Structure 1
């Protein structure tokens, strides 16, 4: 993609902003950065780009696109909705508008494997990275997992594999993005404050397949009603299932993961030998096994990696035990279904810490999914009152509203008994109080350390 002397507008200077500007500079583009935050807010990011010629338009979006002169390309941060007036004006002016993932795709060489879904993306992406590395494939693990895809794009070679975690926000601004293998792990309610309804949300998730052809693979969760129903018009679908035996695909039979191809059944691993806990992680293992097998990786390598893989930070991460009370950091759980899966995975009785930014979700499903494992809850953040009201509606009265996570941890420990598990699994985004879920999880770990003294 030729960008030398092209005028490129970067809208939103979020996590991907710094590596994006560095790549655009390497390619010889003329760069404008627009962000609603002020120069003072962004001083650390601006300092990191010292020596690079960037024009900054900060504190607001331009009143009209003409203020910026002739723009050849606009690249939008995934955190900015495509519906805001300034973005609509860019589109109306006929300026090409893409996201960082789309640009990374256009600049990258190698085979792309893309992973999306409501839950399990990060664990599955990290697991895939380990499988491919253990198979001695030159592998880049990028995307929503925390490494900007654009930061590795110019390093990639034809024989490389690029494992990408992709969010719905990132998919909205993709145009020609074409993964050889892609999966939608599951679809449950999330981000409805942005996408409006489940139909829109599912359509955006399934746009990951829109440029695939018969030589590519669409890996689909057979057990999830939405993914199964939407998969029927896709090219070359391979299903995985935790519940049903399949004519072709990857499934659980007699507690073993089985690959079935051409009537032959290949036993991969007994599910008790998978190191990451919970049945939801069996589903993640099934998806990773399917994608790896159809990438030509040996069953032995898949098996040995599943036996060794310990999971990812902030996802049902064991932190410590103090006076017989176990602490688990599941800060990555930013929606209700993810929290339910954590509750199912952690030993009862559980004291649950939940709350955060209000994404428009209703919390009835959470209280339907407690399964008598949660004995008490501490809630905080924007959604605290909303969760409290849902709990009372379902007769769950051992629920305490507090100001912040510190008070939640202290309160939970105070009422805990030997054998209890204190689980941070917020069921909400972190952005009302934290930069991201990682910051929230690290604070929890520090608070537990302070309890130990």
Structure 2
């Protein structure tokens, strides 16, 4: 049962006017809160959002933040992109002002059950797959969170019978207070966002807050093949594991060609490996986690198998774009850290031309060397991190400094040969050249499709010429 919170008449400050901040401000205003929204960007850059919020009765402070505004609030909700240790938030915290993430605020108003998914990689695919399987099983499902739609924007759709499947980031989890998922899933932990978190352990502890408020009636699902996760397993919730490599007593495992769920000395076959259409060993792990969560939610094995088989994948996650003259192009723009790029490289046989680069997040790119040496024919470097990446992967692969994604696609199309894969898996954030990773992925797809349109007429002309010669 969630804890009710009365917003009416409360002074609420929303920090940041991206997607989450806008949804949060509108949610609070609709419930009678006295909302102030503050944004570092000037009005010229957020004019559409500003008009919408003013119409809802919000007070706006644009072009910078004022400490005095923070210190007179009764609740502050920062957007995920705002670091929790910024000076203004620290000053408000010292005064005892509650500072919640948007998912904590939304949780106070949720009805029904909550499944939370976090981890360094695979969150979006796993969340979408869980939702798809549960829908296949006939449950009323709401998919929200870091996957695209803020949870706070879906609250009114929840009911006592609904299941909310929510992707949760470390930035969101570090500012929870009472959030308690019925099922929490921690997929993996690899170095990421170390430009924001002081250490890998601090990053892991933020992720593990997913389990902090769970009780013995709740379930925690963790990856048994990730040795770093054992330290973050909760002590109160029922703990289930998933593994593609080893036998486990409680949870989901791969046994031969079957995915089996074990609990309390009994086991049940949920699906077969051939049901899985997604490429890569990491997607097998995502399926194991999703199958475990769906089964614990009440989905029968036949619905799990049907749902996994019919799941088409998620945009920007090893998304097939086109095959042009025997070369296959894949968009994995969501590979915003080194581990995600390693998994993407591992998903394909044969020669890979990989596009790397963007905004560095304090990553160590030297760990890419072995995979690049074994799998890649060419690394095409774009964005602000190109210098660092080039130094750290030198001598493991041929390198082309392309600067932009446009130039990268152009050069890749000339250098690739039939049977090759051109893969966008940047290992970096996107904010140096793009609005977000979605913008980057869609631009890549647009360029590939333009290339496809250009190549098709040329191929037709060549074929026509051959016919005339014959």
Structure 1 range deviating more: 395-404 or 215-224: 395-404
Q: In the aligned structure 1, how far is the partner of 2:71 from the partner of 2:61?
A: 12
Give the Cα–Cα distance (whole angstroms) in 2 for the partners of residues 292 and 270 of structure 1: 15
Deviates more, 1:364-373 or 1:149-158: 364-373
Is residue 350–residue 375 contact of structure 1 (8 Å, CA) maintained in 2? yes
Question: How far off its partner does 1:388 sit?
Answer: 0.7
**Count of matched residue positions in the alignment of Structure 1 and Structure 2:** 449
Secondary structure of 2:131 counterpart: helix
Q: Does 2:269 align with 1:270?
A: no
Structure-2 separation of matches of 1:215 and 1:421: 47
The Cα shift of 1:177 comes to 0.6
Which residue number in structure 1 is paired with residue 421 of structure 2? 421
Instruction: Provide the secondary structure at the position in 2 that maps to 1:448.
Output: helix
SS at match of 1:89: helix
Query: Which TM-score applies when normalising by structure 1?
Result: 0.97
State the match for 2:461 in structure 1. Answer: none
Q: Is the 8 A contact 1:334 1:429 kept in 2?
A: yes
The CA distance in 1 between the partners of 2:264 and 2:11, in whole Å, is 53
Over the aligned positions, Cα root-mean-square deviation in angstroms equals 1.3
Q: Which residue of 2 aligns with 1:181?
A: 183
SS of the equivalent of 1:74 reads strand
What do residues 248-269 of structure 1 show as CA deviations (whole Å, max 9, x unaligned)? 2210011211112233332222
User: How far does the alpha carbon of each residue in 1:339-368 deviate from its partner, in whole angstroms, 9 at most, with x for none?
Assistant: 111111123210000101010111011112
Matched, 1:438 2:446: no
What are the within-5 Å matches in structure 2 for residues 401-416 of structure 1? 401-416=401-416
User: Contact (CA 8 Å) 1:385, 1:401: kept in 2 or not?
Assistant: no
Tell me the distance in 2 between the aligned counterparts of 1:316 and 1:51. 41
Q: CA offset at residue 382 of structure 1?
A: 1.3
Out of 288-297 and 436-445, give the one that drifted further.
288-297
- The alpha carbon displacement at 1:96 in A equals 1.0
Give the Cα separation in 2 of the matches to 1:87 and 1:322: 51
- How big is each residue's C-alpha offset from its partner over 1:34-70, in whole Å with a ceiling of 9 and x where there is no partner? 11111111102113335211111111111x32x5673
Task: Find the counterpart in structure 2 of residue 40 from structure 1.
Answer: 44
Could you tell me which residue of structure 1 aligns to residue 64 of structure 2?
60
Q: Taking structure 2 as the reference length, what is the TM-score of the superposition?
A: 0.93
Find the aligned partners of 2:65 and 2:342 in 1 and give their Cα distance: 39
Structure in which a larger fraction of residues adopt helix: 2
Tell me which residue corresponds to 1:17: 21
Alignment of 1:354-373 (within 5 A): 354-370=356-372, 372-373=374-375
CA distance 1:232–1:28, shift in 2 (3 Å): closer
Distance in 2 between residues matched to 1:239 and 1:259, nearest whole Å? 10
Gaps of 5+ in 1: none
Report deviation, 1:230.
Answer: 2.5
Would the aligned equivalents of 1:218 and 1:237 in 2 still touch at CA under 8 Å? yes
